[in-house]
């Protein structure tokens, strides 16, 4: 994660069902669905003003840390999150082994 994002807090916006960070007045976020044992990440997006800044990767990494701390298992349905985990394989440790594409990570 780029250093400019390290001290930006991750917000779990339960009204909008998304994890988000705000940077320079703009948002990067991940839509999620949650059960008592799992968190499914559905879609990652950064506002156009954040393109190329690393904000999307930062919100993914912060969200993965949150999921790990919560003790829940991850279902990475979002292609961006899936690709992030495939590139950063240490995060596979929080993916639910029953996830349909687990063996492709």
What is the tens place of the pLDDT at every residue in 43-58?
999 999 999 999 999 9
How far is 63 from 44, CA to CA, in rounded Å?
Answer: 11
CB 59 within 8 A of CB 29: yes
What average pLDDT does range 57-79 have in this prediction?
98
CA-to-CA separations, 2 to 53, 95, 105, in angstroms, rounded: 9, 24, 24
Indicate the pLDDT class of residue 104, thresholds 50, 70 and 90.
very high
Residues 6+ positions from 60 with CB-CB distance below 8 Å: 30, 44, 80, 81, 84
Q: How many C-beta atoms lie closer than 10 Å to residue 32's C-beta?
A: 23
Indicate the pLDDT class of residue 72, thresholds 50, 70 and 90.
very high
């Amino acid at each position: 994660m780029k250093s400019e994002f390290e001290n930006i807090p991750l917000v779990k916006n339960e009204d909008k069902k998304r994890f988000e960070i705000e940077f320079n007045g703009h948002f990067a976020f991940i839509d999620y669905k949650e059960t008592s044992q799992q968190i499914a990440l559905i879609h990652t997006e950064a506002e156009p003003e954040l393109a190329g800044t690393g904000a999307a990767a930062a919100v993914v990494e912060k969200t993965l840390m949150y999921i790990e701390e919560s003790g829940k298992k991850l279902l990475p349905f979002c292609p961006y999150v899936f690709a992030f985990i495939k590139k950063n394989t240490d995060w596979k440790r929080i993916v639910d082994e029953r996830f349909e594409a687990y063996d492709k990570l």
